Structure 1
């Protein structure tokens, strides 16, 4: 039997992968990973393509993505080689951070063993090693403090930021475009769920600051392809999609107010 022709029933795949049958069955039920093959007797089996998808799911999950984000990224064409590279980079980064932290802690320990006062420089170096470097990311519409805040959020997400911002976010815009084309109303539940996820992403990378979200929205309207990562339709079409998303957001806020609840603060609007 060749590698390409190997197949696994759920129990065999669970035993071989270390996952539980319950997990595999749950992923099947939500459409994240379903057996693609069938035996002559009609039993469902996982094939080599399913195994590759399983690896990609676990790889993205190890980078911090949720199952919903993973499903969207896989639909958006997340590249297996990129996932492997990002996993390696994440492991190397953590090894480097641990090595740096160990060196700093050795310095602190040595100072204490010598019964001398630990210098401020040694302590600050140890603090930096535990919290990581600071820096800045992002563009022209944000002031330096906001750039720092967004950059910190991106760095905190690690390799997962690539999948959330460069694959999931554009894929959500494509789905919004498809819903708009199909004639969906802004208050359609599918549209509201999609906008809810966009707002989750916005809040994560704006630090919950509505001013940052507004400025990113302004940048989007100036250059939607650069901000959203989707350049296939014309810019005017993506602006129409952005307007559709905003209508859905407004409809959702009105529904919340009508239910007598207090709307949560808006975090950001990709």
Structure 2
């Protein structure tokens, strides 16, 4: 008897959400090969192999549409694994470089000094260089706008890392939880999150409406590339973007009284 996995078990094992697997089934990216007598999804070993390929290709920066095209056309599993291995080795090399800088910084701090050059090296290593995200961004804003974003991020110093790597992902997660729970966009909690997101946007865009609109288009068109290490499903992100836009348009409660 062949082993099969229900959608909940597969979601838990893969680190995905049940909603993501449902979405991938709906768009034909990962359709379970079997159904139970009750009509529930049942994934087979071949489905798990395809899931690995989907996740590996997504890890290489491909969007869901491109992944589907690659898999439907047939991909070389040897090349896929080698490319995945190369990405892992690159990440390990970056972590080893960061480790070396942190060891050096720890040694200098232990002597009682404040080694500014070493500290700056560690901060730079901690920051993320994301060529896929930059390429996605350049499709929607011009070179001057990209430089403006970079200059403003540099001017913020270490705070930029906190806003981008800590605060923004947490705001995203909170907003998605509210959306998934059915909280109306006009709810005060949602509007507070939107207000903070817009404040952060203004920090990096200088309040330029054109740059802000371009960044939003880049996120909507290719959220996986823009998100970098933050796991983002394109369908889920667009649902959330629509939800947040509705919150921006919502009239605060009591405004008509």
Given the two structures, how large is their TM-score scaled by the length of structure 1? 0.43
Ranked by relative contact order (alpha carbons within 8 Å, sequence separation 6 or more), the top structure is 2
